[in-house]
């Protein structure tokens, strides 16, 4: 059974030593996400590899997955959304470095001596992976469950 993922880490130090981290974050502890969850039990699981290339550029690769119970925006009944998203981030010290990376790269701005929150990273990746409108697959909401919004 995976252990809980550490929240605060030194990403640059992890990358320079080629560390791999995996663990779980209780859904109730993910800031900003817990308000939308209908079932606050469960975990998001993360597997992250920190490394640097030959040019000295450091990055994080991995994935985050979770089963989130949210309200369907059509019928307002619970729907389980399974999120399994890939992470690919380049570590940068400040915003000016962003322009030196290809457009296909996403950046994580953090100074080498600063700690960063992995729980916040997990939250952001989960939120980015959610559909724009959370709903059951087409045809799975019964008409009796769909609220009559026009009176």
Instruction: Give the residue, 105 or 81, on which the prediction is more confident.
Output: 81
Residue range 72-77: mean pLDDT, rounded: 89
Domain-embedded: residue 61: yes
Instruction: Give this prediction's pTM.
Output: 0.82
Distances (CA, A) of 16 to 10, 52, 87, 107: 10, 6, 18, 17
Number of domains in the chain: 1
Residue 122: what are its φ and ψ, rounded to 5°? -60, -45
Burial of 47 per CB tally in 10 Å (0-12, 13-18, 19+): middle
Domain-embedded: residue 141: no
Distances (CA, A) of 111 to 3, 10, 13, 116: 27, 9, 11, 9
Q: What is the mean pLDDT of the chain?
A: 85
Secondary structure (3-state) at 32? coil
Question: Looking at the predicted structure, is the pLDDT value of residue 55 above 80?
Answer: yes
Residue range 64-84: mean pLDDT, rounded: 92
Residue 151, number of CB atoms within 10 A of its CB: 3
Domain-embedded: residue 135: no
Domain carrying residue 81: 8-129
> Which residue, among 57, 50, 58, 59, has the nearest Cα to 22 in the 3D structure?
50
């Amino acid at each position: 059974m995976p252990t809980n993922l550490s929240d605060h880490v030194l990403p640059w130090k992890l990358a320079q030593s080629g560390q791999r981290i995996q663990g779980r974050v209780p859904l109730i502890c993910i800031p900003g996400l817990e308000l939308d969850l209908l079932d606050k039990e469960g975990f998001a699981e993360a597997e992250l590899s920190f490394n640097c290339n030959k040019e000295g550029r450091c990055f994080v690769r991995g994935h985050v997955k979770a089963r989130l119970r949210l309200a369907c925006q059509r019928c307002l009944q619970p729907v389980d959304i399974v999120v399994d998203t890939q992470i690919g981030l380049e570590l940068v010290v400040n915003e000016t470095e962003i322009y030196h990376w290809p457009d296909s790269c996403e950046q994580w701005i953090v100074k080498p001596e600063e700690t960063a929150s992995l729980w916040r990273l997990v939250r952001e990746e989960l939120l980015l992976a959610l559909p724009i409108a959370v709903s059951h697959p087409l045809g799975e909401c019964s008409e009796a469950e769909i609220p009559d919004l026009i009176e």
